Chains A and B, each alone.
Chain A
Amino acid sequence: MDLNFTAEEDAFRAEVRQFLKDNLSDEIVAKMRGMEELTKEDLENWHATLQSRNWLAAGWPVQHGGPGWNATQRHIFDEECSAANAPRIVPFGLGMLGPVLLKFGTEEQKAEILPRILDGSDWWCQGYSEPGAGSDLASLKTKAERDGDDYIINGQKTWTTLGQFANKIFCLVRTSSEGKPQEGISFVLVDLDTPGIEMRPIRLLEGGYEVNEVFFTDVRVPVANRVGEENEGWTIAKYLLTHERTNIAGVGASTQALAELKMLAAKVSRKGKPLSIDPIFMAKVAETEIDLEAMRITNLRMLSADATGREAGTVSSMLKIKGTVIRQSINDLARRALGPAACPFPSEEVIGNLAVAPPEAARNAADYFNNRKLSIFGGSNEIQRNIITKNLFGA
């Protein structure tokens, strides 16, 4: 047992840190600290910066343009990026479609699509959920019917994150109604410019706009855009659920959020003293910090064990549940730290001119509400518990 990083790992950390220092602008760091929505351009620019160093596609193998990192390196990279307030890497192309193509795509699909993800030509979004198919994803109804060399797609997807920035969507569609629902699903790639597609915004409870509904009316898509075999899309969906585990616990982001919380507590006062010496409030901060510290080790421990199959499912579900609960409690404390200063709706006027709260904390309440999503999306925490239960009892 040795919890220290090796000398090479420390050197790698230093290299990442230096790169971030040289390449992250103050403007982006301020936006990240203040939890401002980044523009499409901000995100694209950051992707390009990472790509210039070959660090964008952290999980991809070298021959396809990835850095070839192991799990520990990826963990270090994530920690450093979060600590430096770097924008997150938009996951849909890099973390989801990329790995799917690497595992299930044809050589033509890999050759055509992967480079366009790396150079930013395409922005992908994820079309899985439907109004009637959330937790029960396999009940999805969006239909793709064969017509010669095309599929004709009809139906509706929803909750499509950052669809407003995307030019492509990968979808799970129903290609057969025979057998079990899971057996009639296919994975298809759709160009959002195709006639018959309409996207409508959904406003979230805190006022932000990051998700959409996508309507498909007689949308014609070449059969060649299918990934994997017809009716085997469910295998792909399941693969994705367990494949991307490295960042699922969000340890880096939580660590940074906790550091911000402590700085805030030192800045605001209660009873004439800094909140950071108030035992009642700080006891809660300390508990959360203890949980996070354990999570950091749990995460490293589970990543270093090469889990497969059922075990892998349990691990990613555990990391997701505990990681999101910790993050949400940091958000809760960050809102509470402000007292009534958390109340104003974070308009530009309120943040810029009135400065009721410190500017980096003005969106703390909004962020708290927005991050309630963490325990809902990507398979809700209830569904994760069901997965663990199934694995536990071998059902």
Chain B
Amino acid sequence: MDFTHTEDRRMISDSLRRYLADQYGIEHRNQAAYEAPFHDTGKWAELAELGILGALVTEDQGGFGGHGFDIAVVFEELGRGLCPEPVLGNLLALRLYAALGQTERVDAIIAGTARAAVAVHETDAFVDLDEIAITANGSGDSVTLTGRKSVVYGGNSADHILVVAKNASGLGLYEIAPGDAEVMGYAMIDGGGAAEVILENTQATTLSEDARGIIEAALDAGRLALCAEAVGIMDVLRDTVKDYLLQRQQFGRPIALFQALQHRLVDFSIEIEQARSIVILAASKLDAEDRALHIARAKNLIGRAGKLVAEEAIQMHGGIGMTWEYGASHYAKRLIMLDAQLGDTEDQLRTSMELAAA
């Protein structure tokens, strides 16, 4: 066994960490994250140059990574830097385009010259693919789509939107130009952008009529990414809490000397190590047959650990942890909200139970 990352992965991780620390400080982050387009398009191009998008797909597909650990190292750093760029949406799109051999799109996204998003959720189908109601109308080249896709991550700043819709053979994947639909973007409460996508006889290109397998695989890659992002965030919160306890004086001494707080810091640090481990396991299984079970287990544990760490981090800071101005509060918000993306703690528990029983 070897728990060290390869040289290449360490390099991308280091350079991304340095880049975000130097170029994406918390003040700039909070400005970019909450003002349209809810990220920084200039920085997007620079992230592409660093190769972080290329790391998300394999060499055959035009990238230079694409395995679970590649995704994990990138997203762990995005978490550490609390980066609001729409990498999640583009990861989903890249995985789908790559699986379908859409080289032109893959190359453009990797180069940073185009962005894409994947519209899966509907207001009555936020988790389960079986509940998707939007149905492709027509076949072949003349397909239209009607209905509303909700909370599309990165949908507000995408050049192409991939839409998951029902058809005769199950679930298909269709591409639309955002201009042909009504795309209403907004900030998320933890920063970064999403959109409601309203389709009204919107002209769509059929990419695949039978796409369920690749959609599930792409969503699992997204879940792994969120888990790794959470680990990066939790590491920062642990360090921030530790530093704050040492620095904050009450009753004539650093509050770090109160055992009531010491033990809680220790307890949540243990959970962070558990979280790190299960993400490593899940990353190692991204291309395996039992992928779905391991991803669901990881995201369940991440959800529980994340809630503990976020809530304790706020609490142990006292009032200062409740403020917009203090960086840790934004990390805590992101850590809580990422649980809601692509299936939360309870959804993953349900999936874990079903798959473990199967």
Contact = CB atoms under 8 A, between A and B. Distances in A.
Interface of A: 129, 132, 134-136, 139, 158-159, 202-207, 269-272, 278, 280-281, 284, 332, 335-336, 338-347, 349-350, 353-354, 356, 365-366, 368-369, 372-373, 375-377, 380-382, 385-386
Given A135-B251, A356-B196, 15 more contacts: A129-B319, A134-B319, A205-B321, A205-B322, A205-B332, A280-B346, A332-B307, A335-B340, A339-B127, A346-B189, A354-B196, A372-B321, A376-B314, A376-B319, A380-B318
Contacts of A132: 249
Given A205-B324, A272-B130, A280-B346, A340 B340 contact: yes
Given A135-B318, A343-B188, A345-B187, A336 B340 contact: yes
Contacts of A365: 189, 336-337
Interface in B283-314: 307, 311, 314
Nearest to B261: A382
Interface stretch (B72-80, B118-126, B173-181, B238-246): B118-126
B121 A340 contact: yes
Interface string B181-204: 000101111100010100000000
10 contacts: A135-B250, A136-B251, A139-B250, A205-B323, A207-B189, A339-B126, A341-B150, A346-B189, A353-B184, A372-B322
Nearest to A380: B318
A134 B317 CA distance: 11
A280 to B, nearest CB: 5
Contacts of A206: 189, 333
A343 B349 contact: no
Contact of B322 (A135, A335, A346, A373): A373
A340 B322 contact: no
Contact of B194 (A159, A284, A335, A343): A343
A201 to B, nearest CB: 10
Given A339-B344, A382-B261, A356 B151 contact: yes
A280 B128 CA distance: 16
B124 A269 contact: yes
Given A271-B128, A344-B151, A377 B319 contact: yes
Contacts of B337: 342-343, 365
B346 A281 contact: yes
Contacts of B142: none
Contacts of B14: none
A340 B149 CA distance: 12
A350 B194 CA distance: 11
Contact of B333 (A269, A349, A369, A385): A369
Interface in B319-355: 319, 321-326, 329-330, 332-333, 336-337, 339-341, 344-347, 349-350
B23 interface: no
A343 B130 contact: no
A271 B341 contact: no
A350 B188 CA distance: 10
Would you list the 7 A-B pairs with minimal beta carbon distance, nearest first?
Answer: A205-B329, A203-B324, A136-B250, A339-B126, A340-B151, A345-B187, A343-B188
Contacts of A280: 346, 349-350
B131 A354 contact: no
B24 interface: no
A382 B184 CA distance: 44
How many interface residues does chain B have, given as a range? Answer: 35 or more
Residue from B151, B196, B322 whose CB has the most chain A CB atoms within 10 Å: B322
B247 interface: no
Nearest to A272: B131
Contact of B189 (A139, A159, A366, A380): A366
Contacts of A347: 186-187
B260 A385 contact: yes
Contacts of B124: 269
Contact of A341 (B126, B261, B321, B345): B126
Nearest to A206: B189
A343 B340 contact: yes
A287 to B, nearest CB: 13
A346 B130 CA distance: 29
Contacts of B345: 336
Contacts of A380: 315, 318
A203 B151 contact: no
Nearest to A280: B346
B19 interface: no
Contacts of B339: 336
Contacts of A386: 260
Contact of A207 (B194, B307, B324, B326): B324
B347 A344 contact: no
Contact of B131 (A135, A136, A271, A346): A271
A366 B8 CA distance: 40
A135 B184 CA distance: 45
Nearest to A279: B350
Nearest to B248: A134
Contacts of A377: 319
Contacts of B347: 270, 339
A341 B337 CA distance: 11
B44 interface: no
B64 interface: no
Contact of A372 (B186, B315, B344): B315
Q: Which of A205, A349, A373, A382 has the most CB of B within 10 A?
A: A205
B322 A270 contact: no
Given A205-B332, A281-B346, A340 B314 contact: no
B194 A344 contact: yes
B193 to A, nearest CB: 10
Contacts of A354: 184, 186, 196
Contacts of B187: 344-345, 347
A332 B34 CA distance: 23
Contact of B123 (A272, A332, A341): A341
A373 B314 CA distance: 9
A203 B196 contact: no
Contact of A350 (B186, B314, B321): B186
A136 B254 CA distance: 12
A340 B325 CA distance: 26
Given A281-B346, A350-B186, A354-B184, A204 B123 contact: no
